A = this chain, B = another copy of it.
Amino acid sequence: MLTSIETSLPADFIINSIGIAVFAVTGVLAGAKKGMDLFGIVVLALITAFGGGTIRDIILDAPVFWVENFSYVYIAIIAAIAAFYLQEQFWKTYKPLLHFDALGVALFNVEAIDKTLALGYGAEVAVTMGLITGIAGSIIRDVLADRPNLLLKKEMYATPIFTGGIVYVTLLIFVPQLGLINAGIGILTVFVIRVAAIRWNITYPKFMQIPE
C-alpha cells in the first residue's frame, strides 16, 4: 500500500482553509449574476468550495469533511460575504486571484490524494479523487449559474491537476523516502502548468481539439 506524507493536523486545517476561502471567493466572482441576492451567492460559493470534496468523500464512503469540521463552512461564508462586498476590488486583482486559485487547487489535489491513499485506495483512484476535488465544485457552480463549464473550454484547468496528480503518486511509488519534498513537487507541478496556461493561453494542439 502506498503511504502518503504525514502532515500534522494543523497543517491540514490551514491548507484546506486556504483552498476553501479561495474557492468561495472565485465562486462569488464567477457565479454572481444580475438579480441574485447575498443568500443565493453565499450558497453558490459554498457549493463551489465544498462540491468537489463532498463528492470525493461520498464516493470513497468516508465521512464528509465539512460535516466533521463545520469551521470550514464558516470560513467559506466569511470569504463569500467579503467577496460580495469587495467585488470591484477583487476584480481589479483578478489575475493575482487566478494565481491564488491555482495554488488552492494544487494544495487541494495533494490533500485529496493523501486522504484517498490513507483510506487504503490505490494510486489510480487517488489521482481521480484529486481531479474530482479540484473541478467538480466549479463545474456544478457553472451549471447552476448557467455559464459554460470548464469541460467546454479550451483553457487548461483540469489538465494541470491531473498531471500534478500523476507526478505526485509516481514520486510516492518510486521515492517515498523523500517525504514532504514529493508533496512540494506535486503542488509545484500543478501550480506551474496552471500559471503557464493562464499567462500564455496554452491550449491543447489543434489535433486534440474539436475544430471551430
Q: Check if B67 sits within 8 Å of A209, measured CB to CB.
A: no
Q: How far is the CB of A18 from chain B (nearest CB, A)?
A: 22
How many copies of this chain sit in the oligomeric assembly? 3
For the complex, count residues of A whose C-beta is within 8 A of B.
51
Q: Is A63 an interface residue (CB 8 A)?
A: yes
Q: Is A98 an interface residue (CB 8 A)?
A: no
Expressed in whole angstroms, the Cα–Cα distance for A73 and B39 within the complex equals: 31
Q: How far is the CB of A32 from chain B (nearest CB, A)?
A: 5
Q: Check if B209 sits within 8 Å of A36, measured CB to CB.
A: yes
Q: Check if A212 sits within 8 Å of B34, measured CB to CB.
A: yes
Q: How far is the CB of A51 from chain B (nearest CB, A)?
A: 11
Q: Is A145 an interface residue (CB 8 A)?
A: yes
Q: Check if B150 sits within 8 Å of A40, measured CB to CB.
A: yes
Q: Is A168 an interface residue (CB 8 A)?
A: no
Binding site for B on A (CB under 8 A): 32-41, 43-44, 54, 58-61, 63-64, 67, 70, 73, 121-122, 124-125, 128, 135, 139, 143-146, 148-154, 156, 158-159, 162, 203-204, 208-212
A-B contact pairs, 19 of them (CB 8 A): A34-B211, A35-B154, A35-B212, A36-B151, A36-B152, A36-B209, A37-B204, A39-B158, A39-B159, A40-B150, A40-B158, A43-B135, A44-B151, A61-B61, A67-B125, A70-B125, A144-B151, A145-B151, A146-B152
